[in-house]
Structure 1
Amino acid sequence: MTSEQPSLTPLTPRAAEIVSAARAVLEEAGREALTMRVLADRIGIRAPSLYKHFPDKEGVEVALIERALIETGTTLGAALGTGRPVPALLRAYRGYARANPNLYRLATTGPLPRHRLAPGLEEWAGEPFFRATGEPHLAQALFAFAHGMVILEIDHRFPEHSDLDRTWTEGARAFTAP
């Protein structure tokens, strides 16, 4: 990456344990299952004790979103050195989202609590799109394509016999055409 990775919002060891448990619940059962009571049960404490570490459920979600942004930015940045930039970026993006579907949904759907994220994190995580295209509007269009494709894919919204590998390839070709 050309810019330095931002630091995550610091967590105490217990808060890190809560975030780890939250990620497990999220990936196992989805965002709807992620409640303070379920988290407390998962780590063996009473639900009110969670509020000593996070002011609210959104605080836990923000910690998860920060981790998703770091992982995504790192994954995409590394992919840029592995071949043609746009196809490599799209392969990495698709792979990350498919491997972490509920974390991906949490980080990319609904309102983003930007004011609670570590400063510069969102921009840093999105920088590989700019590096792949060299132009900010094209970078946003590429992100929109990638997000739209992957969310439809992980939500099984394409017709059953769709050739999604080919659709991704054609999308990459469209963004790299002269």
Structure 2
Amino acid sequence: MRIRIFFSGLCNGQFQRIRTLQGSSRSYSNAFSPLELRFEPSYRLPALVVGAHILALAAIFYSDLPKFTLTICTALVALSATHSLKGFIKPGRDDTVVGLSWYPDRKQLALVLLSGAQLQVDELRQKLVIPGVIVLSLVPEGRLLPIWLMLTPDQMSAEEWRRLAIVIKWAPPPQRDASGQG
């Protein structure tokens, strides 16, 4: 089957045919092509994490809390910062997410790990796309707790960043069946 695309604009008084495409069974029904990404180490993300923890500490100190509560909250923020920055201080664990493989038409999403293994995602619970940051909450196959993935533009090319933002906003996300079996 041949699909013809015509340009209806006037060019030298004539209609011009731009191209003829061959239809195939491998075409993408909702116009989203597969997305294969490999993440580079980020230099913005640690600064973003540190900045968020400093803002949390400032909010705690400027609140009118008793000293005991202030001490507990400060210790919890310090523990959170240590846990959040652990991957940046000591990188290279085998379960570190280094890429993403997303087939929107099939509603399939997989995380690529440093070991080379792919971890299938059952559900995309939450997503946030703002200029400079993409945050995803993904539930891998066979797990109950989500993996939080924070991405910044310095981890990939500008074209990959744009495509990822579009797919996250508009493509149907992978969802767990009502039975919870995937």
Common fold: TM-score over 0.5: no
Q: Report the structure, 1 or 2, having the larger strand content.
A: 2
Q: Report the structure, 1 or 2, having the larger helix content.
A: 1
Q: Structure 2-normalised TM-score?
A: 0.28
Q: Structure 1-normalised TM-score?
A: 0.28
**Larger CA Rg, structure 1 vs 2:** 2
